[in-house]
Amino acid sequence: MTNLNITDDSLKEKLVAYAYDNSDAFCYGCYKVVKPNAAGRCFCPTCHSDDLMRHVGGVGVEYGIDWVVESFIKANCEAIDLETYYGEWLSEIYSEPVKICGSEFDQAWALKQLDPIAYELGQADMISANLDDDCWIEIDGEYYTVDEVENFLS
């Protein structure tokens, strides 16, 4: 699984806490969910191992917590539609539609037809800028806004 790339420590902390609350400890050797004891400690009652994985119903079983966080974001937040977002972003910057021989064209559509490389590079720049500014989170090649992730947590 990928490494969770969230630079906002308090957001990451909240996500990890949510992930622990909404997943179970799992003993792979005995292949079963392990409930924490009264003191909140987790070890397998059968083999006494505390080398436990995490289990998310319907998703899977794996070591670590980052993949649990990612699975909850993917299940609860909508990935950004890059084409739509980029199109809106371009039309905000270049408010005038493209005019060719008296006809008007949507900015993003025209750029994509006339210079697909510039279109791709521009979209890649927009993605990098949003990731650098900590506005977006990337999971498996999809992007989610931090705002939406915060909404889902609250």
Residues that bind Zn ion (CB under 5 A): 27, 29-30, 44, 46-47
Tokens encoding 39: 């003191």
Q: Looking at beta carbons only, is 29 or 116 nearer to Zn ion? A: 29
Contact 67, 5 (CB under 8 A): no
Rg (CA), the chain: 22
- Assign 24 to helix, strand or coil: strand
Give whichever of 50 and 104 is closer to Zn ion, judged by the CB atom.
50
Nearest distance from C-beta of residue 48 to Zn ion, angstroms: 7
Output 1 or 47, the one with its CB closest to Zn ion: 47
Minimum distance from CB of 35 to Zn ion (Å)? 13
Nearest to 66 by CA among 126, 115, 23, 130: 23
Task: Report, in Å, the least distance between residue 31 CB and Zn ion.
Answer: 8
**Closest separation in Å from C-beta 28 to Zn ion:** 8
If the CB atoms of residues 47 and 118 are measured against Zn ion, the closer one turns out to be 47
Cβ-count burial 106-139 (b if 16+ within 10 Å, e if not): ebbebbbeeeeeebeebbeebbeebeeeeebbbb
